[in-house]
Chains A and B, each alone.
Chain A
């Protein structure tokens, strides 16, 4: 290894020796912006066809040595048109650069470097600061939804601080991760959920530790060539996040403050008490128990209440647990600036967000310092330091027995919140079997806090060893300390029904990743037209994770919750794990006269997770592009400004998401019997375990028309993952259930289209811009060893079908004559159960979470100081299994408690009018019925079921169009603010998730009760949905 890196150094040393000196002349001058004549600092100036260059200083001045009068100086600066000036006999050259609307000059961050957009040969989507600033976001991924083609994002829960599900160009793996790699300023970030609290539905979002206000831009590397430089970790795409850095020039202070309120975007309407009792009476009568069974049969056990009683309790449970006025406040203060030698960006922020479900909150403090120093003419150093502390306050999770939303699903409306003595009403004393806990008690007294301290720190040094040969080394650390504190007092039903006096838990985890990266970059050009950039590097990283957990119960006091006060410690454990990665990488970028481009890269990774036989994996890629617009036949075109054809092919790997010791046979010592510690076989080993690899072909077209005012990008990709890391079933008689193997293939393919347009730009200052993108995705399992493996009772893995295909009992509908449900008895055994589950198809296509297409459109308008933007986001053809409805649409079904009948739970309002009432009714809701048929004596003679939990009765088209963000802003005129020392003042008002057009019956077509699951996605069981948010804010620059 040592050899590989020293050779380029020696070669470059030779180059240094051969560079000769010759006669030169000095030209100097000043560069200014054409719009306001301000000096431009840091403009690149290059003698064309050479590698000789310089940059302008703090005042915009430069001086450069030239060889002859024929030399051409090329002035380039981000956001400005590049200008070429022939030196001639001038010694003073002052230049005025025009700002450009051209996308192609934009600098984009690629893996281990940057490139001009125009030179990019791969599929990269960018989301810039302006787009980030148009949304109210608390974590950066939220801003990517609907803005980056090919990136499918959904928000699984409205809990503040909950993670999003993000898939770049589909899902590639069954067992290993399908989430992208996040790289912040070159540091791959841990995005795992390290909390040990059971949330049932969502994960804590490690990405939310980052303050989104610090972010300059986000690039998503999608195709193999772009991502291959991240080799082993690039198969699911790479999200490169670049934070803001100081620019030389006058120091800037910026303060951004907003406040707002949040509420649920939608709430399911439930029956009131009157309607509930009427439905139960109808059910009992239909089954032969006579009229008024639940209302007038009193005062026995079966009497829920009199619907005509004016004092009848009528509790709106969703109203009790949700709020429309959850406040949210964010402060962000930053300082930035610099001179030729140093630049700085320092920021601090504070976010305090209440969730719209009572009892939830998210707070985050953060601070950042990004510093860069030019030490001398060959050495630059810098550091990024980010610190944050957050506290996520939650109640008992979405999908748990005593959870808030779950219990509210079908809670009895005749139950009060509080009894007359002020205690929480106990659902076991009321009329629904469903609720295990009073939903309000669940929001109020179940306490959970997750505290996270996060440090992201890196240090880099960049040395120019010889002209154009740069060595860069960086050392970084991603440190996360997380602490869960839970307390369920003795008054919770979980404690009461558990026979204990309160329960407490304390868990902590420490996750530290260190990373060292070393790269050499060399730029060179031959004969004016052959431009090369070489990159070679070596990186290594190691992650250590330690975890401890203590559970205790029986507390003397509900206010003192320290675990030292627990009478019984019921469990205590510590454990730890680790993994490491060593990588070698190389890349060459070549372009011929800015016309033909070629990029080739290769990366070899070794992972501690794999068997020694297959520890290393090599991932090559190549991409090429042809700028047709530089060809003579197009270069004079008025219409076509830029036209570029791109193609790439390459391989990337995956090792994330599997056990750190997946390849090894293990015995665990974490078992005990009768007070003694024991050991048992715990993992089946597979020495042949190796890398999962994804080969991807991408072809793309970039078109710029009308001087870059209208830009299109098309991409088609075909991504095939093989040697899938799969926890593959082994026969049970081996004593194991599965072993991690490289089995199976998955294919993702799709089309992506995006458009950026300046529709109108008038001299008077009115501008209308549109950004639009739309993508398709087709996901398919192409090879499996165990075809047809069932995932729970709702999903299946099957060749020819997408990941996450639903496998459910088929509901044919309601018999118009009887009002009863009809199910397909697939195996013909006369019973309807899990043996009758089948893949749900429509027009030959399996119904799944994968949309036919998805995307977003932003229209922004500006006139003088006014700005307005509307962002819509959509998805079509995605299905969601609305598991909640099985609890909410029982239509009277009751449990037989030995002679009395206890209603399953309250129903949704749509059941009131929508249910089957008389022969001939065509409806999708069955008749009211208890589920038992009685003879005239009241004896049960038969049972039936009009619902099946695991059936497609609840499978719904969750297509939607959402008005995601609407913003109005006003920039105070300079004349008004200059006098008081302000540089700019912007006032803004934003609404988020304002309307959603959908036929989906749940609260939010994006929720997922199985978190980020790839194999069993698309389930809504008491999902919270996203917040509707209104904020008002201002941004002031000094």
Chain B
């Protein structure tokens, strides 16, 4: 009798035990569940925008690292990652460079999953138009991300260079078994991928005035940004003109309004943050005494430039600060990824370099006069005038460094050796067994 009791008892225990090994996470799903229906695909697209938001990318490091490396920002803290950038001597072990590299590729991977995953969704209520739009937005973001990488790690000024980027364009299903070691593609192959994505997106994407996400305006704007780096001036002029002529966008009359009002007509793509989903843009510039305006930047402004007002003292803090991101309490500061002013300056550069000085001057002065300065009367020393305008217009937005490199002024202005026109490939990448990436020459 006793034994029967034991056996029954044990049988009950053992039968109930099998489920112990079957555990499920509460806030995550497996990849096959991600694209199970239209709702999942839409969530993945929202996820893609959220991948631009972290501190590693547009939440602080991308812009501030680039600007501090140039003559825009200065660093007053003790974090080695920023300090080395500020000293203009970036070793491959530098943290900021590693974080930004990883952050951008996280966005690219999410875009790859969407581009490959959306066509596989079996949901009859998921219309083809919506699928095409989602994929087009993902392509636009992938192009943005690859161009950000190329203009900081690749020899973007030299189309014959083999030092482009490792290009991943397909879903891995987040499975380690699918990881392959790849080499860097050439600069021209990298440009081809970016332009291919943008052209495919341009054919489908909606011409929307929702500036918080990718739209036709962003796609043309990115094409202009790509062509100006590629030195294809006619294409750059055409692409920039397509955005400038788009009625969704116009230069704000007041420069300050761009940053005090959300999603103005100035913005082509403005990455939105709110207090539940905050950015770290004001953390480094205001709350902590770290990323500060370079005294040389402050000194360089001309009298009466309204853009100078976006560098100010803040109550309770010593010294002048960048205040484009001024909400240091709730951190609801957007990242300005593309503004219409950039397209004017791109077109100015393209027109000047293709011989249209008058057109160039007109575009440059459009941005200049908006800031309350008198227009330039002639095109003498035009490139330096343009670079000054980029410095004043886009401080804190991460455009000055790549513009200096593109216009072959980085060594002269920043006093760096030629090989430092690109960041080093992070040490962690090169140290991975099986890696076939090569370091940028000189590092």
Q: Write out the residue numbers on chain B whose beta carbons fall within 8 Å of the beta carbon of A897.
A: 318-319
Q: Are A949 and B174 within 8 A (Cβ)?
A: no
| B432 CB, min distance to chain A CBs, angstroms | 5
Q: What does the 1/0 interface line of A775-817 toward B look like (CB < 8 Å)?
A: 0000000000111111001000000000000000000000000
Residue of chain B at shortest CB distance from A950: B80
**Given A607-B21, A661-B28, are A672 and B89 also a contact pair (CB < 8 Å)?**
no
| B64 CB, min distance to chain A CBs, angstroms | 18
Q: Are A681 and B113 within 8 A (Cβ)?
A: yes
Q: Of B46-54, B124-132, B354-362, B369-377, which stretch is located at the interface? A: B46-54
Q: What does the 1/0 interface line of B39-62 toward A look like (CB < 8 Å)?
A: 010011111111101000000000
Q: CA of A433 to CA of B76 in the docked complex: distance in angstroms?
A: 10
Query: Any chain B CB within 8 A of the CB of A671?
Result: yes
Q: What does the 1/0 interface line of A605-634 toward B look like (CB < 8 Å)?
A: 011100000010000000000000000000
Query: Any chain B CB within 8 A of the CB of A686?
Result: yes
Q: CA of A681 to CA of B117 in the docked complex: distance in angstroms?
A: 12
Q: Are B80 and A575 within 8 A (Cβ)?
A: no
| A93 CB, min distance to chain B CBs, angstroms | 34
Q: Are B317 and A499 within 8 A (Cβ)?
A: no
Query: Any chain A CB within 8 A of the CB of B203?
Result: no
Q: Write out the residue numbers on chain B whose beta carbons fall within 8 Å of the beta carbon of A86.
A: none
Q: Of A220-228, A258-266, A726-734, A995-1003, which stretch is located at the interface? A: A726-734
Residue of chain B at shortest CB distance from A664: B30
Q: Are B329 and A660 within 8 A (Cβ)?
A: no
| A770 CB, min distance to chain B CBs, angstroms | 49
Q: Of A411-419, A831-839, A911-919, which stretch is located at the interface? A: A831-839
| A492 CB, min distance to chain B CBs, angstroms | 13
Query: Any chain B CB within 8 A of the CB of A737?
Result: yes
Q: Are A732 and B105 within 8 A (Cβ)?
A: yes
Q: Of B4-12, B193-201, B246-254, which stretch is located at the interface? A: B4-12
Residue of chain A at shortest CB distance from B45: A678
Q: Write out the residue numbers on chain B whose beta carbons fall within 8 Å of the beta carbon of A542.
A: 20
Q: CA of A947 to CA of B124 in the docked complex: distance in angstroms?
A: 66
Taking a contact as CB atoms closer than 8 A, the residue among A672, A680, A688, A793 that contacts B110 in the complex is A680
Query: Any chain A CB within 8 A of the CB of B168?
Result: yes
Q: Are A2 and B11 within 8 A (Cβ)?
A: yes
Q: Are B50 and A580 within 8 A (Cβ)?
A: no
Query: Any chain B CB within 8 A of the CB of A23?
Result: no
Q: CA of A510 to CA of B209 in the docked complex: distance in angstroms?
A: 47
Query: Any chain B CB within 8 A of the CB of A895?
Result: yes
Q: Write out the residue numbers on chain A whose beta carbons fall within 8 Å of the beta carbon of B427.
A: 790
Q: Which of A667-693 contact B (CB under 8 A)?
A: 667-688
Query: Any chain A CB within 8 A of the CB of B31?
Result: yes
Q: Are A793 and B30 within 8 A (Cβ)?
A: no
Q: Are B20 and A680 within 8 A (Cβ)?
A: no
Query: Any chain A CB within 8 A of the CB of B109?
Result: yes
Q: Are A895 and B3 within 8 A (Cβ)?
A: no
Taking a contact as CB atoms closer than 8 A, the residue among A497, A666, A672, A684 that contacts B50 in the complex is A672
Q: What does the 1/0 interface line of B112-123 toward A look like (CB < 8 Å)?
A: 110000000000
Q: CA of A580 to CA of B21 in the docked complex: distance in angstroms?
A: 5
Taking a contact as CB atoms closer than 8 A, the residue among A500, A553, A735 that contacts B106 in the complex is A735
Q: What does the 1/0 interface line of B334-346 toward A look like (CB < 8 Å)?
A: 0000000000000
Q: Are A682 and B105 within 8 A (Cβ)?
A: no
Query: Any chain B CB within 8 A of the CB of A577?
Result: yes
Q: Are B275 and A674 within 8 A (Cβ)?
A: no
Q: Are B91 and A827 within 8 A (Cβ)?
A: yes
Residue of chain A at shortest CB distance from B29: A667
Q: Which of B18, B28, B84, B106 gathers the greatest number of chain A CB atoms within 10 Å?
A: B28
Q: Write out the residue numbers on chain B whose beta carbons fall within 8 Å of the beta carbon of A677.
A: 43, 46
Q: Write out the residue numbers on chain A whose beta carbons fall within 8 Å of the beta carbon of B272.
A: 673-674
Q: Write out the residue numbers on chain A whose beta carbons fall within 8 Å of the beta carbon of B27.
A: 575, 668-670
Q: Are B50 and A735 within 8 A (Cβ)?
A: no
Query: Any chain B CB within 8 A of the CB of A920?
Result: no
Q: Which of B1-38 contact A (CB under 8 A)?
A: 2-3, 6-7, 9-11, 13-14, 17-31, 33-34
Q: What does the 1/0 interface line of A724-762 toward B look like (CB < 8 Å)?
A: 000001111111110101000000000000000000000
Q: CA of A615 to CA of B21 in the docked complex: distance in angstroms?
A: 9
Query: Any chain A CB within 8 A of the CB of B166?
Result: yes
| B20 CB, min distance to chain A CBs, angstroms | 3
Q: Are A428 and B317 within 8 A (Cβ)?
A: yes
| B321 CB, min distance to chain A CBs, angstroms | 12
Taking a contact as CB atoms closer than 8 A, the residue among B24, B101, B316 that contacts A732 in the complex is B101
| B297 CB, min distance to chain A CBs, angstroms | 12
Q: Are B277 and A665 within 8 A (Cβ)?
A: no
Taking a contact as CB atoms closer than 8 A, the residue among A538, A737, A790 that contacts B93 in the complex is A790
Taking a contact as CB atoms closer than 8 A, the residue among B9, B31, B433 that contacts A665 in the complex is B31
Q: Are B44 and A498 within 8 A (Cβ)?
A: no
**Given A9-B7, A579-B23, A729-B428, are A734 and B29 also a contact pair (CB < 8 Å)?**
no
Q: Are A680 and B50 within 8 A (Cβ)?
A: yes
| B431 CB, min distance to chain A CBs, angstroms | 5
Q: Write out the residue numbers on chain B whose beta carbons fall within 8 Å of the beta carbon of A473.
A: 9
**Given A577-B25, A678-B50, A898-B319, are A834 and B91 also a contact pair (CB < 8 Å)?**
yes
Q: CA of A542 to CA of B275 in the docked complex: distance in angstroms?
A: 37
Query: Any chain A CB within 8 A of the CB of B426?
Result: yes
Q: Of B176-184, B224-232, B235-243, which stretch is located at the interface? A: B176-184
**Given A731-B166, A734-B168, A949-B78, are A685 and B17 also a contact pair (CB < 8 Å)?**
no
Query: Any chain B CB within 8 A of the CB of A70?
Result: no
Query: Any chain A CB within 8 A of the CB of B438?
Result: no
Q: Write out the residue numbers on chain A whose beta carbons fall within 8 Å of the beta carbon of B20.
A: 540-542, 580-582, 608
| B141 CB, min distance to chain A CBs, angstroms | 11
Q: Are A685 and B23 within 8 A (Cβ)?
A: no
Query: Any chain A CB within 8 A of the CB of B94?
Result: yes
Q: What does the 1/0 interface line of B79-96 toward A look like (CB < 8 Å)?
A: 010011001010111110
Q: CA of A793 to CA of B428 in the docked complex: distance in angstroms?
A: 13
Q: Write out the residue numbers on chain A whose beta carbons fall within 8 Å of the beta carbon of B213.
A: 674
**Given A570-B330, A666-B28, A683-B28, are A731 and B429 also a contact pair (CB < 8 Å)?**
yes
Q: CA of A793 to CA of B6 in the docked complex: distance in angstroms?
A: 59
Query: Any chain A CB within 8 A of the CB of B108?
Result: yes
Query: Any chain A CB within 8 A of the CB of B435?
Result: yes
Taking a contact as CB atoms closer than 8 A, the residue among B21, B105, B113, B328 that contacts A499 in the complex is B328
Q: Are A672 and B109 within 8 A (Cβ)?
A: no
Q: Which of B395-436 contact A (CB under 8 A)?
A: 426-429, 431-433, 435
Q: Which of A295-320 contact B (CB under 8 A)?
A: none
Q: CA of A575 to CA of B24 in the docked complex: distance in angstroms?
A: 12
| A252 CB, min distance to chain B CBs, angstroms | 36
Q: CA of A734 to CA of B112 in the docked complex: distance in angstroms?
A: 10
Q: Are A580 and B433 within 8 A (Cβ)?
A: no
**Given A730-B432, A734-B179, are A673 and B329 also a contact pair (CB < 8 Å)?**
no
Q: Are A1 and B14 within 8 A (Cβ)?
A: yes
Query: Any chain B CB within 8 A of the CB of A64?
Result: no
**Given A577-B26, A834-B91, are A685 and B174 also a contact pair (CB < 8 Å)?**
yes
Q: Write out the residue numbers on chain A whose beta carbons fall within 8 Å of the beta carbon of B173.
A: 665
Q: Are A673 and B181 within 8 A (Cβ)?
A: no
Query: Any chain A CB within 8 A of the CB of B212?
Result: yes
Q: Are B431 and A729 within 8 A (Cβ)?
A: yes
Q: Are B48 and A685 within 8 A (Cβ)?
A: no
Q: Are A793 and B295 within 8 A (Cβ)?
A: no
Q: CA of A950 to CA of B78 in the docked complex: distance in angstroms?
A: 11
Q: Are B174 and A834 within 8 A (Cβ)?
A: no
Q: CA of A670 to CA of B21 in the docked complex: distance in angstroms?
A: 25
Residue of chain A at shortest CB distance from B104: A732
Contacts A497-B328, A790-B428 given; 12 further ones with Cβ under 8 A? A428-B318, A570-B276, A577-B23, A577-B25, A669-B28, A671-B46, A678-B45, A687-B177, A730-B179, A731-B166, A833-B84, A833-B91
A–B complex contacts, Cβ < 8 Å, 30 sampled? A5-B10, A9-B7, A497-B287, A497-B328, A499-B287, A578-B23, A664-B30, A667-B29, A667-B30, A667-B33, A670-B28, A673-B47, A673-B53, A678-B47, A678-B48, A679-B34, A679-B40, A679-B44, A680-B44, A680-B110, A685-B31, A731-B437, A732-B428, A786-B432, A789-B428, A789-B431, A834-B91, A834-B94, A898-B319, A949-B80
